[in-house]
A = this chain, B = another copy of it.
Amino acid sequence: MFFKSRDTRMCVSAPVFNNFGKVEKILIFRTPSINFFNMPLISKKGNLMPDSPIRKLVPFADEAKKRGIKVYHLNIGQPDIKTPEVALEAVRNAKLKVIEYSHSAGFLSYRKKLVTYYKRFGINVTENDMIITNGGSEAVLFAFMSCINPGDEVIIPEPYYTNYNGFAITAGVVIKPIVSSIKNDFALPAIEEFEKIITSKTKGIVICNPNNPTGYLYSREELEKLAILVKKYDLYFFADEVYREFCYDGYTHFSAMNLKGLEQNVILIDSVSKRYSLCGIRVGVIISHNCDIMRVAMRFAQARLSPPTFGQIAAEAAIDTPKEYFTEVYNEYIERRNFMVGELNKMQGVYCPLPKGAFYSVASFPIDDADKFCEWLLTSFNYKGQTVMMAPASGFYSNSEMGKKECRLAYVLKIEDLQNAMETLSQALKIYPGRTI
């Protein structure tokens, strides 16, 4: 244990463990005005919570900017794509005089409209199968809280969306990772691999499809293989489909909601953040045909009263976004992806799979340590006054050794910026002291 007892708490340092019991770093408590003898301790879960690998380099980026350096942000899935005008207009024109709580499950009008949205994708749900949440984030939290007991396990192919760690720790859920390798372009690991790690504590599988951070698009066949396992072991299937619209090269998305026989097992996590470039409004949704789960999730929803009013207004209106918007966005992302992945693979020793979905990819680099490399890019390098910020992949793996040479890149910047970013990155790899070729 790293917590000192009540009587001997003169500690000035404490190791921080990652979600998997490994020491991540040593915290030094700063003590300017603190009387240690009278300071209550922080919680164990608080200590377990990882710093965001996506945002932890932000202070270095801020410093670089202060020095006048242009930083290309490939580290975060914040698209520069314009929000549909129809959504912004709805907020501007809202005629509310009192901004009241909405229904804890969200506006009925919005939920009804979502029914029509999902119908377009062949997903049949009713307004009672859904609860609008504070972003997809809260949907994941409600799903874990409603379905899984502290100490129980969910299996997630890694690298995985790092914030699952935060919600797992909050809910006391143990994540059992299963490696999807860059060597296979991050395809679904063999079903036997899943079966090997299923225990009596295993309660669910989480699949993000299309995947963040890898951009991998799971096929219907892959999902159907998983479905057999889910059924066999009576698990929950948590399907994070927030990138549903972002599928390329003629591939289409198959929703876990349409897996036959899994109606009571599937919990859909969704969000409007990326779909309509509405990240800031914090509107997501949790959906399931399992009415017991929805009844329980509703209690968590009631405790926090309601999702945000203006966000719901924007999200409801956004469903009427004209088709051309998506065509334009689609073409833009295809161009960006092809360019960025193409450039990366031209660099000596770099490998980047061509992702079929979302707007991320994980690439491997000829370097000693991606965390060091990403920090170095911000603190010690610039090319023509520019540098690049990426997310070291270590934070997306349970074992930071595994992602040690990999970074996640989000192709969320316009081509011109991506050109500069790739040129800069290419130059950096030539002089980075920790390069391995």
Contacts and interface: CB of A to CB of B under 8 A. Distances in A.
A322 interface: no
A51 B302 contact: yes
Interface in A194-251: 200, 203-204, 231, 234-236
Dominant secondary structure of chain A at its interface with chain B = loop
Contacts of A304: 134-135, 137-138, 141, 163, 166
A164 to B, nearest CB: 9
Interface in A136-167: 137-138, 141, 145-150, 163, 165-167
When all copies of this chain in the complex are counted, the total is 2
A310 B309 CA distance: 9
Interface stretch (A275-283, A332-340, A381-389): A275-283
A164 B167 CA distance: 19
Contacts of A44: 149
Nearest to A37: B234
Contacts of A309: 280-282
Given A40-B235, A91-B91, A99 B296 contact: no
Interface in A28-80: 29-30, 33-35, 38-40, 42-47, 49-52, 55, 76, 78-80
Interface residues of A, number: 94
A170 interface: yes
A10 interface: no
Interface in A254-308: 261, 263-265, 277-282, 290-293, 296-297, 299-300, 302-308
Contacts of A76: 101
B299 A282 contact: no
B200 A278 contact: no
Nearest to A39: B264
A163 B296 CA distance: 15
A162 to B, nearest CB: 9
Contacts of A192: none
A414 interface: no
A235 to B, nearest CB: 6
A278 B305 CA distance: 13
A207 to B, nearest CB: 16
A319 to B, nearest CB: 16
A35 B150 CA distance: 26
A33 B263 contact: yes
Contact of A296 (B49, B167, B231): B49
Given A45-B145, A134-B134, A82 B100 contact: no
Contact of A78 (B101, B148, B203): B101
Most interface-central of A91, A102, A163 (chain B CB within 10 A)? A91
A314 B279 contact: no
Interface of A: 6, 29-30, 33-35, 38-40, 42-47, 49-52, 55, 76, 78-83, 87-88, 91-92, 94, 96-102, 104, 134-135, 137-138, 141, 145-150, 163, 165-167, 170-172, 200, 203-204, 231, 234-236, 261, 263-265, 277-282, 290-293, 296-297, 299-300, 302-311, 314
Given A47-B296, A52-B303, 11 more contacts: A38-B234, A39-B234, A39-B292, A46-B297, A46-B300, A55-B302, A88-B97, A91-B310, A166-B299, A166-B304, A281-B310
25 contacts: A34-B264, A35-B264, A39-B264, A39-B290, A40-B203, A43-B145, A46-B296, A47-B296, A52-B104, A52-B302, A81-B98, A82-B97, A88-B96, A91-B310, A99-B277, A99-B314, A102-B280, A134-B138, A134-B304, A137-B303, A166-B299, A170-B171, A170-B300, A279-B305, A280-B309
